[in-house]
Structure 1
Amino acid sequence: MGRLNDGKWEDVWYDTKSSGGRFERSTTKFHSWITADGSAGPSGEGGFPAESGRYHLYVSYACPWAHRTLIFRELKGLHEHIGVSVVHPEMLSDGWEFRTDFDGATGDRLYGLPFMRDIYTKADPQISGRVTVPVLWDKVRKTIVSNESAEIIRMFNSAFDGLTGNRDDYWPEDLRDGIEEVNARIYDTVNNGVYKSGFATTQAAYEEAVHPLFESLDWLENRLADNRYLMGERITEADWRLFTTLIRFDAVYHGHFKCNRRKLIEYPNLWGYTRELYQWPRVAGTVHLDHISHHYHYSHETVNPHRIVPVGPDLDLDAPHGRDRLKAAA
């Protein structure tokens, strides 16, 4: 994984000794916002107006956080306005790389740089911290607007509406309090919970994470028994934030991260829900299970030292999802 320290690269894994074996996620560094007129957003500085062709998205197809931004780029019709560069799925001693010897890895389409860390030091030559994706880059100011996925998807949700005419709203004002509450539990116990389970280095830290994970999956299974989506009849950002973890669950988290009390396919409501979201227009094209499986199993030497990439599971994501019954019942 590695990190930058005053602009210099260090190949160091997460320190779990000082945290009792617990994985603790690093915070993101860049928190400015694209807005319709370039005014300042909720954090960071202003000066990033919504303009076609100005911004570029750096992602990994394997990363669930980056996957959120790719989904919103499609949902909001931004694929013609915001370009994308995709890193190689292997994240080894140099961190994310722009190699192109894996189907779908594009290289750095803006500058031809070899490593994702070079984008960070281009924005700030003295930066310290983890080099993560996604990164939303401003080609005019030659800097990072944001590397926080939760904020990027909210920018995509509304900032470009005047340009695209797409006013689909996945963060509707009347549901925001409920969305925030659901997001908080899902982030802590599910989105990040699989990582806290998989990267734990003590039995106690693992069990501290894995039990709340499955308690939340049981809660979600029950919630989706009578609700088509997490907030009822309307699909929101909460659904898409959950989806990027669910779509990886049986392929990666169940085995590789020891989240194996139950497979996702053993939850009828969650499994049907996952298939419905996968079959949503333009979403399936953002899912790259080859990148997902290869990245996790090949990159995490501390978890899988022989770097053997498994061949399965064989998931039928195109099977009828059966969620229409809830809409009919409503």
Structure 2
Amino acid sequence: MGHMMNGKWVDDDRITADVRGAFVRADSQFRSWVTDDGSAGPSGSDGFKAEPGRYHLFVSYNCPWAHRTIIFRKLKKLEDEVSMSLADRPKTAGWAYSETIDDFQPEKDGVFRLHQVYAAADANYTGKVTVPTLWDRERRTIVNNESSEIIRMFNSGFRTHTNVTYDFYPEELRDEIDRINDFVYGHFNNGVYRAGFARSQEAYDEAVKKVLICLDQMEQWLDERRYLVGDRITEADWRAFPTLLRFDPVYHGHFKCNLRRVQDYPNLRNYLRELYQWPGIKETFDLQKTKSGYYGQRNINPTGIVPIGPDMSHLELPHDRERLRAAV
């Protein structure tokens, strides 16, 4: 995995765990916000005004956290406002890209790496180098590397730069969205990683139990309502979606969350199909690159062999979610 120490890249495949062997995710360190007028957001400093071409998003197809931001960039039609780089080279010394941006130069092996961006933002940076990362080309710094905040910036921070007025985080639903987000994140989004990166049987068992609790709970909710928060699609759905989409082809086997599949849940599998078939969404996902990225993690899969299956063509089949009311 590796990390940076005082602005320099350090190769280190160790997974951070607590004394019980449970995976511990490091907090994101860049937490400023892009806003319509450049005023400060909920955290960080001001001065990041929404302007066409000013911001660049670094992502990877296999990362579910990055996938959230790719989705919101698509949903809010910000492709011409926020440029984007998709990691497309082997992950040696971190996320790697064939093409550079601005005045960044490739390293000696001809590859441009994300840790160069972090060093440019902070010459003494110590910490993880993660996607998504939102880069400010004007100030030459990282605005934010927390996916949950970047999607909210894309939802509301570029209002004057998009004709998409739909709000995925409406004020009247925020408390419920936040409640569901917290539950799904702790049990499912991060839960699959806590299972896959567990360093003890106890930590693994606990993580998988929580994953299954969340799958069962979402199945129950979706029997009664079209989306996680009710009859309108919200941020909560698009935060759950990348993990659901990767569950059967990756987390079920690679992370050993193998008691049940999403395909085994009637409501969840139809819900997943509806979201996958949402206009523009399927083009934000590449199954083969996703599997190659995960199964290339040699600390979990030493051979690097990528499984052929499973068959995910069911995502293209008709769904039955019209049986439940939708607001839009």
- What's the TM-score once normalised by structure 1's chain length? 0.94
Q: Which residue of 1 aligns with 2:228?
A: 230
What residue in structure 2 maps to residue 95 of structure 1?
Answer: 94
Indicate conservation of the 8 Å contact 1:32/1:41, yes or no: yes
Matched, 1:108 2:100: yes
Tell whether the 8 Å contact from 1:61 to 1:89 is kept in structure 2 after alignment: no
After TM superposition, give the deviation of residue 202 of structure 1 in Å: 1.1
- Aligned match of 1:292 in 290, 304, 317? 290
Stretches of structure 2 that go unaligned for 5 or more consecutive residues are 107-111
Shift of 1:312: 1.0
1:71 CA drift (Å): 0.3
2:320 corresponds to:
322
Residue number in structure 1 paired with 2:46: 46
1:60-93 deviation per Cα after TM superposition (whole angstroms, max 9, x unaligned): 011000000000001001011110011126424x
* Structure 1 runs not aligned, ≥5 long: 101-106
* Pairing 1:61-100 to 2, within 5 Å after superposition: 61-88=61-88, 90-92=90-92, 94-98=93-97, 100=98
**SS of equivalent to 2:183:** helix
- Secondary structure of 2:85's counterpart equals strand
Distance 1:49 1:91, change over 3 A: same
Say whether the 8 Å CA contact 2:17–2:198 is kept in structure 1.
no
Question: How is 1:57-206 mapped onto 2 (pairs within 5 angstroms)?
Answer: 57-88=57-88, 90-92=90-92, 94-98=93-97, 100=98, 107-110=99-102, 111-113=104-106, 114-206=112-204
Give the conservation status (yes or no) of the 8 Å contact 1:264–1:271. yes
Q: How far 1:329 moved relative to its partner?
A: 12
Give the deviation of 1:16 after TM superposition. 4.7
Equivalent position amino acid for 2:174 in 1: R
Q: Bigger shift: 277-286 or 18-27?
A: 18-27
Q: Is the 8 A contact 2:15 2:197 kept in 1?
A: no
1:328 Cα offset (Å):
7.6
Larger deviation: 173-182 or 82-91? 82-91
Aligned residues: 321
1:241 matches 2:233? no
Q: Which moved more, 1:255-264 or 1:109-118?
A: 109-118
Q: CA RMSD in A?
A: 1.6
1:308 paired with 2:305, answer yes
Match of 2:109 in 1: none
Instruction: Tell me whether 244-253 or 164-173 shows the greater mean CA deviation.
Output: 164-173
Q: Bigger CA drift: 14-23 or 276-285?
A: 14-23
Give the share of equivalent positions with the same residue, in percent.
51
TM-score (ref. length: structure 2):
0.95
Once residues 207 and 219 of structure 2 are traced to their aligned partners in structure 1, the CA distance between those partners, rounded to angstroms, is: 19
Contact map agreement 2:81 2:161 (CA 8 A) in 1: no
Counterpart secondary structure, 1:327: coil
| Distance verdict in 2 for CA 1:304–1:15, change over 3 Å | closer
Q: Take 1:166 and 1:138, find their aligned partners in 2: how far apart are those partners?
A: 23
